[in-house]
Amino acid sequence: MRETIFKDFIGSLAEKMGEPIDARFAAITVFLSGLGIIRNVLQIRLLAEGEGGDLEAIIARAIMAMLATPESQAPQTPAHQATACECPQTAHQKAEQAKVQGRTRKERVQTRKGIAMTAIVDLNGKRGLVIGIANENSIAAGCAAAFHQAGAELAVTYLNDKALRFVSPVAEAVRAKIMLPCDVRVPGELEAVFETIARQWGQLDFVLHSIAFAPREDLQTSIVNCSAEGFALAMDISCHSFIRVAKLAMPLMTDGGSLLTVTFYGSERVVQHYNLMGPVKAALESTVRYIAADLADKRIRANAISAGPVKTRAASGIGRFDELLDEVRDRTPGHHLISVEDVGRVAAFLASEAGSSTNGSVVFADNGFHTVA
C-alpha cells in the first residue's frame, strides 16, 4: 500500500512539473525518504513556486493517505525507507539537489529514528575572528578548533612576539588564513586586525572575544583594597575592548553576524578569590545585553558564554585556583569539570545560524554548576 502511494505521488508530481524532472525530482525523493518532516515540505513548496498551487494539494493528499494507512503508523527503519522509495538517485541528481537547496558543500548527516538530518551547526562558508588564544589549552583555542571543525575560515591573534610560539601551533591546526598581533592596550593594534580582514576578506561573520586581565596585586587582594588604576585597567581590557570589537566588526558584518565573549559565574555570585574580576565580568555581561539591543536591527547578535572553571594560563592568576576547581567539581551535578572543547561546541553553535535566535544572553557551559545553591 505504501509503495503504491509513493509511486503514484511521484507520478503525479512528474506530470505537474513536466520533464525533465531533474533537480526538483531529486529534492522530492529526499522528501519521500523522510516524509513527515515539515521543514522538507516547506523546501518543496519553495522549489515549486511558479508551478501553481496544485503541488501543495498533492503533497497534502499524499500525507493524508499515509496517515490513513495503518502501516504508516509503524516505525520505519532506514532499510524500510530505502525500499519504500524505490527510486535511487544518480550522481547527477544528487549534485543537482545540492545546488537547488543551496548546499554545494559537504554536510555531515546524522541518523535518528531512521530519518536523515543535516548537521545543525554548520559554519561552512563563514569567516570568523578569534581574539585571545594564549596556547593550546586556552578557551579561545578550544573555540577555534570547534569553529574549524564546523567548516569556518579563521583569522586569529596573538598577544605579542613572546606569545607567538605558543599560538602558532593552534593557528596551524585550525588552518588560520590570517594571524596578527593584537594587544588591545597598544594603540592601533586592534584596528589593524580589522583593517587587514577588511582588505583580505571584505566581510566577517563572527568574532570570539576571549581576553581578560587584571594586575596581579589588584586581583589577589580584596575588592575594597584594589587600586583605581588596576580596576580601570581590568575594565578596559576585559570589558571595554569588547565594545571596541563590536564597533569595528559592525561594518564587516553586512549579512549579520555573531559577537561572542567569555564570562564566569563570579559575575553574579561571590566566588572566593575572584575578587575584582567579579564586577568586571558583571559589567561585561551587561555590555553584551546593550550591544545586542543596539545591533539587533543589523542582524548582529551578541552573547556571552559563562564557562565553568578551566585550568588555563589566564586562570593561574587567581589565588588558590586549584582549590576552586576541587570545590566546583564537588558541587557540580555529575562531578565533572568542563573542557575547552566543551566551551568550543557551545561557541560554534552560537556562531552558526542554528544559534540565530539567541541574543543578549549569558549561555552557561559549566555542566550545571550554576544551578546548584
- Tell me the catalytic residues: 274, 281
In 3D space, the residue among 238, 302, 229, 294 whose CA is nearest the CA of residue 266 turns out to be 238
Q: Which three cell numbers stand for residue 244?
A: 571596541
Residues 174, 94: contact at Cβ < 8 Å?
no
Which residues partner with 158 through β-bridges? 181
**Among 146, 133, 139, which Cα is nearest to 179's?**
133
Q: How far apart (Å, rounded) are the C-alpha atoms in residues 310 and 369? A: 13
Task: List the beta strands (DSSP E) in the chain.
Answer: 109-112, 115-118, 127-131, 153-158, 178-181, 206-209, 257-263, 300-307, 362-365
Classify burial at 309, counting beta carbons within 10 Å of its beta carbon; exposed 0-12, middle 13-18, buried 19 or more: buried
Burial of 65 (0-12, 13-18, 19+ CB in 10 A): middle
Which cell numbers hold the place of 110? 546524522
Question: Which H/E stretch holds residue 197?
Answer: helix 189-200
3-state DSSP call for residue 333?
coil
Distance CA 220, CA 57 (A): 70
Instruction: Determine the Cα–Cα distance for residues 339 and 341; give it in Å rounded to an integer.
Output: 5
Q: What is the rounded CA–CA span in Å between residue 188 and residue 182? A: 9
Tell how many helices (H) and how many strands (E) occur in the chain: 15, 9
CA nearest to 282, candidates 303, 267, 264? 267
Nearest to 241 by CA among 301, 279, 274, 283: 283
